Chain A
Amino acid sequence: MKKYRGLIFVLPVIILVLFIVVLPIITMLNNSLRDVRFGFEKNPAFTGLKNYLDLLEDETFIDSIGKSFLWTAENLLIQLTVPLLLALLLNRKGRFYQFVRSVLLIPWILPMVVVSIVWRWLLEPNIGYVNYLIKCLGLSLVNFLGSTSLAFHILVLINSWHFIPFGTILMLAALSTIPTSLYDAAKVDGANSFKRLIHITFPLIGRIIWFVGLLAFMWSFNTFDLIWLTTQGGPANSTMTLPTYIYKLAFKTYEAGKASAAALISTLILIGVAVIYFIVFTPREKKGVA
């Protein structure tokens, strides 16, 4: 009995994972190989790889994969650099910095539904506040979410605006663990602030940067709510990323089989990229360094 005690303790979690992860993936795989419209049909016809082949011929799907990668890359770029810069700026003692750190959290605590609606209204070209300010400056109105060339990047900015506080707090926490004696010693040795950043700060918060990067990648790739609530993938599919397109296939055009195939491809892409990320970017401790 003692031998199985560990197994017994983890059994509830295993069962939970089976139900909420493994079973849906199996159902998704099964649906992707059948002619399923709604997902509830009894004994739908087996169609083999037809859904996958259809997807490969579907321009919007192929385009949405590219958009998802671009979306993730742009988000990662902002969500790694800005929090790091902000953390370096705010890693100081004093009431002012404490206040700024608290205020900074506001976007993060807002639900994405609120964020989407608030930004939609702020960016509205005719009665939105942002364009009102632009008009006050004597500039011409900007069609932020209605422009095929702008909408995508504006959504990246909104998504990053929501994530930045979280990344900053994590990086601030990491910075606060670096002993000040290391900086003092470096100063004595004549290291300037840039050298201290490169040789002390970066190596010591490397794991946190890696972790923030991983979270930013996964959350960004899977972003759905913001896009759906602001542009629904438009205008002219310019913001149609993979999760948005999968939702549209499943719940708007009732092509559950095709949506399952797309979701499975999306899962495989995510797993693939995550594996690469782990192999290539995982910080390794140098030999001889404690």
Chain B
Amino acid sequence: MRKFVILLVLLTVLPLVILGTTTIVFWHHEAPAHRVAAFQKIINLFQKENPDIKVIQQVVPWGDAWTKTLAAIEAGTTPDFQFSLPELTITAYEANAIIPVDDIIQELDSKYQYVQSQLAPYKINGKYWGVPIWTMPMVLIYRPSILEQYLGTKEPPRTWNELLLAAQKITLLSSEKGDTIYGIGLTAGNNLCTQEQVYTIMANLGVKFFDEKGNLTFNSPQTLRAVEFYKDLYMFSPPGSTGWAWGEIEMNFSAGKIAMMPYFGGLQKRFYDLENYDLDAVIQPYPIDGVKGNLIYPNDVHIFKSAVEKGHLEAVKKFLIFIMRPDINAILTAQMEPGSFVPVTKAAQESEHYWDDPIIKAFRHMNEVIIEATNYGTLYGFETGSAVNLAIGSISGANTLAEMIQNVVTNKMGVVDAVKWAEEKMESFMK
């Protein structure tokens, strides 16, 4: 038995040593089976082209991402690199565990041309600490058939006034007919979903959490106006949405109970599977004195210092450059989560590999809108073009925006008091 084990170890390790194979390990947090399969697909393609590098993926679900990352940093057992989000990258940066990636950004930018808005959340103190891989823009998705039935047109609203009127008309007319369809789907649950929808409305007025120096500028006339509008619009959202998260809003929209909602484009896969093409999108409506704007959530990869210590840096860079190749990036975006994960480089956005995907093709107009939205997008706390205040991780983690909106829509606080409360809460995190 002992001999057999030794032989097995030798058979596994020796070829790697003889061939000089480098094994690199990465963590990602996309636990669903089809996402793991997509990662494995790109790994296999990479290993085929680079037989001297072995890549191992390890799944750490999002719920454990922060604690496991910090525990690994403390124990010195970090992987070589990790797929991440701005808040997690900031955490890894604060823990002094990652390296700057300006050289990779520069190379990718010259090759494939980054959409500039996607780089902002990863710029800290003048350097880039994460390589954006894909992004998630929020747009106004809608059911054309409901619009046609109640508004007499499939044309979606383009301004705040039009949006409010359309939501009101659909809700009231459907109620008269006993259909119970709501004009808009907005959540007010204590969760990230609410936060993202609220911020999309705020982005239409150019709300900024911080100024260039990192000072809090949240409590502004723009914020007050955005929250007021959210409150007005919320009147035409289903009554239970004070407790909603992703599941409920998606199910209600799919069931035809909601006509429009600021959301990501990921529902197109579900509609495609059901052969239902009653789904489209428009750039988030904005006030006539406002700006085109929406939330974007660029996902990145950051590289741990341990990759440098182990001499794995070059292999990691090679892999990152590989996955940003438009044909490969299409696997991580169009194939993995069509409409939800969107390319962050112009080359990948224009690539036929992206547009030839059957789901992307089936909802072509919707995806064109989503791609367009990547240009206007911002993420809360990073509006000035870089990470200016690292407290944004805690502010976001605490669901401060969501709690503020809950206080408003449940009439616990007025708009002015709620915004003031949120700013004070943010200040406490900055301390």
Contact = CB atoms under 8 A, between A and B. Distances in A.
B197 interface: no
A236 B239 contact: no
Contacts of B255: 126-127
A231 B243 CA distance: 6
A40 B70 contact: yes
A203 B70 CA distance: 55
Contacts, number: 100
B240 A236 contact: no
Contacts of B191: 232
Name the residue in A128, A146, A254 with the highest tally of chain B Cβ atoms < 10 Å from its Cβ: A146
A255 B238 CA distance: 35
Interface string A127-159: 110000000000001011111100100000000
A254 B399 CA distance: 12
B399 A40 contact: no
A114 to B, nearest CB: 14
Given A38-B70, A248-B398, A126 B243 contact: no
Interface string A50-81: 00000000000000000000000000000000
B238 A252 contact: no
Contact of A146 (B241, B257, B394, B407): B241
A253 interface: yes
Interface in B188-208: 188-191
Interface in A245-281: 248, 251-255
A233 B190 CA distance: 7
A285 to B, nearest CB: 49
Contacts of B397: 251-254
Interface string A216-241: 00000000000000111111110000
A107 interface: no
B379 to A, nearest CB: 18
Nearest to B182: A126
A206 interface: no
A234 B188 CA distance: 9
Given A234-B403, A251-B66, A251-B67, A143 B239 contact: yes
B242 interface: yes
B239 A234 contact: no
A38 B255 CA distance: 41
Contacts of A231: 189-190, 243
Interface string B156-189: 0000000000000000000000001010000011
A158 B248 CA distance: 19
B410 A235 contact: yes
B193 to A, nearest CB: 11
Interface string A23-65: 0000000000000001110000000000000000000000000
B308 interface: no
A148 B412 contact: yes
A30 to B, nearest CB: 16
Given A127-B257, A234-B190, A254-B393, A151 B243 contact: yes
A235 B71 contact: no
Interface string B29-53: 0000000000000000000000000
A197 B150 CA distance: 64
Name the residue in A147, A230, A236 with the highest tally of chain B Cβ atoms < 10 Å from its Cβ: A236
A234 B243 contact: yes
A83 B284 CA distance: 53
Nearest to B399: A252
A234 B73 contact: no
Contacts of A141: 239
A24 to B, nearest CB: 15
Interface string B124-144: 000000000000000000000
Nearest to B255: A127
Contact of B243 (A145, A237, A248): A145
Contact of A236 (B244, B398, B412): B412
B239 A146 contact: yes
Contacts of B243: 143-146, 151, 230-231, 234-235
Given A127-B257, A231-B190, A145 B240 contact: yes
B259 to A, nearest CB: 13
Contact of A40 (B71, B182, B403, B410): B71
A126 B257 contact: yes
Name the residue in A126, A145, A147, A233 with the highest tally of chain B Cβ atoms < 10 Å from its Cβ: A126
Contacts of A237: 403, 406
Nearest to A58: B428
Nearest to A253: B398
B252 interface: yes
Contacts of A230: 243
A107 B150 CA distance: 44
B251 interface: yes
Contacts of B257: 126-127
Interface in B67-103: 67, 70-71, 73-74, 91, 95
Nearest to B239: A143
A125 B412 contact: no
A278 to B, nearest CB: 36
A232 B407 CA distance: 14
B239 A125 contact: yes
A147 B409 CA distance: 10
Interface string B379-422: 00000000000000110011100110011001010000000000
Interface in B250-264: 251-252, 255, 257
A144 B244 CA distance: 11
Interface in B225-246: 238-244
A233 B412 CA distance: 15
A90 B342 CA distance: 59
B277 interface: no
A38 B393 CA distance: 12
A237 B407 CA distance: 9
Contacts of A232: 189-191, 399
B189 A234 contact: yes
A147 to B, nearest CB: 7
B237 to A, nearest CB: 10
A126 B187 CA distance: 14
A234 B406 contact: yes
Contacts of A236: 403, 406-407, 410, 412
5 contacts: A38-B91, A125-B238, A126-B239, A232-B189, A232-B190
Across the A-B interface, the 3 shortest Cβ-Cβ residue pairs: A125-B240, A146-B242, A234-B190
Given A40-B70, A40-B95, A147-B242, 9 more contacts: A126-B238, A126-B240, A128-B240, A143-B240, A143-B243, A232-B399, A234-B243, A237-B403, A254-B394
